[in-house]
Amino acid sequence: MTGDNNQPPAAWRYSGDQLKRWRTKADVTREKLASAANYSPETIASMERGVRRPTPRVLDIADALCDADGMLSAAKKFLDRERFPARAQDFMEREREATCIWSYEVTYIPGLLQTREYARALIDNHVPLLDEETVEERIAARMERQAVLAERKPPVGLSFVLYEAALRCPLVDGEQLRRLLEAARPRNVVVQVLPFDRVVPAALLGPMVLLETRDYDRFAFTEGSFASELSSDPGVVSRVTERLSMIRTQALDPDESARFIERMVDQRE
C-alpha cells in the first residue's frame, strides 16, 4: 500500500477548480479576488491549481464576489478535514487505528512527543512557506494526535527511539526535553535514546514507524525529504521490523535514557 506523494488532496483540487470556474463565470479577475482577500495573485493561482489549500477567507470572499450563493463557502467543511500534508494522510488514518506504535527518529522529535512551541518552529518554517491559517491548523492537529498517549482504552503500546542528534538540535529547549521525560512516565510509553557512540549503520538510513492494528495487521511508514511510503507489504514490514529491533538493542534502556535526558536538562539550566 503506497500513497501518491506528489498528488495534492482531492478536496484541494476540486475546490480550486470550482473557485476558478466561478471566478471566470462571474468575470472576476484573479487580481481583484487577491486584493479583496489580501493574498497575492500567485497564491490565488496556486489555490485554483489545487497545489495550495483554498482558505476559508478566500472561499467566503470569492463566494460573495461571484454571487455563488454559498456554493463556494460550502467547501470549507470538507477542506477542514485535510489537516495533514497530503503524503501523510494514509499514515494518520492508520495511526488512529493502531494498538501498537514503534517509532525511530533521526533528526526531529516525533510529532507525538512535541511541545506546541517545537511544533510551531518546524511547521512555521516549512518550505515552501505555509499560510498562517494552515500553520495553525497543522499545529492544532499535531497536538490532537497526542491524545493517543493517554486517552485510548485499552492504552496503545508506544515505543520511541530518538537518535542523540535529534536531542542536540538547537530547536530542542529545556521544555521539550522535560516533555520527553513526562511522556515516558505512563506504563504504555517507552522512550529510549540512541547515543552517538552506539550508532549502527541501520540507524543512519532515516526515520521509520511500525504500526500494528487490533487485527494484527502491520504497516511500515518511512519518510524522506521529498517522499514518504506507507506499506503493508510483508517484505517491507519485515525489513523495517528488523532495523527497528537492531536499533532498539543498541539504544540505552528506558531508565538510562531518562538519566541521559535529565543530564541534558541540567546542562541547559
pLDDT tens digit sequence for 215-253: 899 999 998 766 678 899 999 999 999 999 999 999 999
* 83: confidence class by pLDDT, cuts 50, 70, 90: low
Q: What is the pLDDT of residue 85?
A: 56
DSSP letters for 184-226: T-STTEEEEEE-GGG--GGGGS--EEEEEETT--EEEEEE-SS
Whether 81 has a pLDDT exceeding 70, the answer reads no
In the Cβ-directed half-sphere of 50, how many Cα atoms lie within 13 Å?
A: 14
pLDDT bucket at 97, cuts 50 / 70 / 90: confident
28-43 pLDDT per residue, tens? 999 999 999 988 999 9
Average pLDDT over all residues of the chain: 90
Can you tell me which residue has the cell 504497516?
A: 219
Backbone torsions φ then ψ of 155, nearest 5 degrees: -60, 145
pLDDT, average across residues 151-159? 87
Three-class secondary structure of residue 123 per DSSP = helix
pTM over 0.85: no
Q: How many CA atoms lie within 13 A of 130 on its CB side?
A: 20
Q: What are the cell numbers at 53?
A: 489549500
> Between vectors from CA 19 to CA 13 and to CA 25, what angle results, nearest 5°?
135
Least Cα distance to 213 among 67, 100, 89 occurs for 100
pLDDT over threshold 50, residue 79: yes
Which helix (H) or strand (E) is 257 found in, with range? helix 254-268
Q: What Rg, from alpha-carbon coordinates, does the chain have?
A: 21
